[in-house]
């Protein structure tokens, strides 16, 4: 696989000739909304045979060598290049097989109906874990199930290990008072522990994922104790334990979202953690990249200093936001899939931009009412940038929020970079 960024005047036909793939295959792999219209700045996944690389504008032999884990001298020798500086766009190079480390992947699934079931059958080979979202904990330690049973049998058939997710969700949001009750009332907590174990056994889950958010800072120690307790209970009964953690850049970071999430404690007692490295650009805030790569790196720099790297799943967003601009406080962005973002760009025939610091695509358009919009989304380039972080930091893998999604490029990029470990 290669990633090509469309330049003005390029078509599916011209690219098919350059990369020696059929136009139909190129359109199908990317699920192009209109195969007759490519947008300047649009990223395309190009399926190429293993051992072959087609030089792109701006490439150097050194950059290509890094991608394939070799040296410029070795590449030059493989291809009989007398002058390694004289490579040109469209030139076909022989390259060694690209190293593909083995990682684990998790996906939080929120649709258990026909769409979610069909999606899981399609992407099952790319997932280690499936986390149906979610069992809501009550103030008495009971569990409100999400009705996820239809996808559990599909997960097992695809060798995807299901993880039970529990949250302090109440109504339409995470509830701090509910978390406080569960973490400080031992009778409630005892009941919760028994209900969790019963559900794990009854539904055939492989383990537990705790996603308690917006916990009062004063409940940091009680939450630590709860994680330690659940670690002992899960391991005694043969289950794995994981937690979802807010994206912190230091142990002293303030704010209700962050303070009660004690990275070193979770790293000690959990089998792995999910870092929620997204939502810098969020539905109720001003336009911004959802997971700007420079901010994600700041989180990873702190996380890897206090949590073993092989216990970290980096969060990856697979959705888009559309803001009306100029943004006004109190307004909400529209949420949709990356593929819908591309369809919208095609509909309004706008150029797609790519922010060099955030490593994220975006575009602007004017709707039929004359309103200006700004859209930030994910594409093959931004996903590759995140896969590069997994390699560079030596992480356990990635965790997707949220599934199902319409984003075919993601799975091509994932498979080009890594092999996926199966636990069942």
Catalytic center residues = 213
Rounded to 5°, angle at Cα 411 from 409 and 415: 120
Long-range CB contact pairs, 195-201, < 8 A, 24+: 195/141, 195/142, 195/143, 196/143, 196/164, 196/166, 196/230, 197/233, 197/237, 199/135, 199/143, 199/145, 199/164, 200/164, 200/237, 200/239
Is the C-alpha dihedral spanning 79, 85, 87, 89 positive or negative? positive
Rounded to 5°, angle at Cα 415 from 411 and 418: 130
For residue 253 the two structure tokens come to: 């970071």
Beta sheet of 372-376, edge-to-edge order:
334-336, 320-325, 372-376, 360-366, 353-355
Long-range CB contact pairs, 368-374, < 8 A, 24+: 371/324, 372/324, 372/325, 372/326, 373/322, 373/323, 373/324, 373/325, 374/287, 374/322, 374/323, 374/325
Residue 142 DSSP label:
-
For residue 215 the two structure tokens come to: 């916990």
Residue 151, Cβ density class (10 Å: 0-12 exposed, 13-18 middle, ≥19 buried): buried
């Amino acid at each position: 696989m290669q990633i090509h960024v469309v330049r003005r005047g390029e078509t599916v036909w011209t690219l098919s000739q350059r990369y020696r793939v059929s136009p139909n295959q190129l359109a199908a792999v990317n699920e192009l909304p209109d195969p007759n219209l490519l947008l300047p700045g649009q990223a395309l996944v190009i399926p190429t045979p293993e051992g072959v690389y087609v030089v792109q504008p701006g490439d150097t032999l050194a950059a290509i060598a890094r991608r394939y884990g070799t040296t410029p001298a070795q590449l030059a020798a493989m291809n009989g290049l007398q002058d390694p500086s004289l490579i040109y766009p469209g030139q076909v190079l022989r390259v060694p097989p690209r190293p593909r480390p083995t990682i684990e992947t998790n996906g939080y699934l929120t649709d258990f109906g026909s769409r979610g079931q069909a999606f899981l059958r399609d992407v099952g080979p790319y997932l280690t874990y499936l986390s149906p979202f979610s069992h809501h904990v009550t103030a008495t330690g009971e569990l409100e199930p999400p009705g996820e049973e239809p996808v559990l049998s599909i997960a097992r058939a695809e060798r995807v290990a299901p993880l039970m997710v529990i949250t302090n969700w109440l109504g339409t949001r995470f509830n701090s008072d509910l978390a406080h009750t569960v973490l400080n009332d031992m009778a409630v907590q005892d009941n919760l522990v028994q209900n969790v174990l019963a559900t794990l056994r009854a539904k055939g889950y492989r383990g537990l994922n705790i996603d308690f958010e917006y916990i009062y800072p004063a409940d940091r120690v009680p939450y630590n104790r709860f994680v330690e307790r659940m670690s002992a209970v899960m391991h005694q009964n043969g289950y794995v334990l994981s937690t979802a953690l807010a994206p912190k850049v230091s142990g002293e970071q303030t704010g209700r979202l962050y303070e009660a999430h004690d990275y070193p404690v979770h790293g000690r007692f959990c089998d792995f953690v999910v870092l929620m490295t997204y939502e810098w650009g969020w539905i109720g805030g001003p336009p911004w990249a959802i997971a700007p790569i420079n901010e994600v790196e700041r989180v990873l720099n702190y996380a890897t200093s206090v949590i073993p790297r092989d216990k970290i799943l980096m969060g990856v967003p697979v959705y888009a936001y559309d803001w009306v601009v100029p943004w006004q406080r109190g307004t909400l962005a529209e949420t949709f899939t990356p593929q819908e973002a591309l369809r919208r760009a095609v509909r309004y025939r706008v150029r797609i931009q790519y922010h060099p610091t955030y490593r994220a695509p975006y575009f602007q358009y004017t709707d039929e009412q004359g309103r200006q919009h700004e859209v930030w989304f994910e594409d093959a380039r931004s996903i590759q940038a995140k896969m590069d972080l997994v390699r560079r930091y030596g992480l356990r893998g990635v965790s997707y929020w949220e599934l199902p999604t319409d984003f075919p490029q993601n799975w091509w990029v994932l498979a080009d970079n890594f092999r996926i470990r199966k636990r069942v």
